[in-house]
Amino acid sequence: MPRRYIDCRDYPSDSHCTIVISADNEDELLEAAVQHAKAVHGHEDSQEFRSQLRQSMKTGMPSAWALPESILLRPWSSGLWRSAIAGARE
């Protein structure tokens, strides 16, 4: 089964959440997404909510456009990988 993910950036919220959750197993992804939605966004766990989460799952990985600009603008050659990661954390 291909990797699946749910990206909070697809659903604007007051918290401006940027979490992306991914897994190889839909049930594992669903459980992690439910826990995140309850803890961070205050959603109630219900069969209807779980169904909505399942419908929002996407195949693959999130697109590069969603990466922070600090990562996209850094050169990846010449051993600057660590620099790019450090810059993203600033």
pLDDT (tens digit per residue) in 21-72: 999 999 999 999 999 999 999 999 999 999 999 999 999 887 755 555 444 4
CB 7 within 8 A of CB 32: no
Where on the phi/psi map is residue 78: left (φ > 0), alpha (ψ -120 to 50), or beta?
Answer: left
Count the alpha carbons within 13 Å of 29 in the hemisphere toward its beta carbon: 24
Reported pTM: 0.67
For 60, phi and psi rounded to 5 degrees?
105, -145
The answer to whether the CB of 3 falls within 8 A of the CB of 24 is yes
Bridge partners of 35, per DSSP, are: none
* 15/24: higher pLDDT: 24
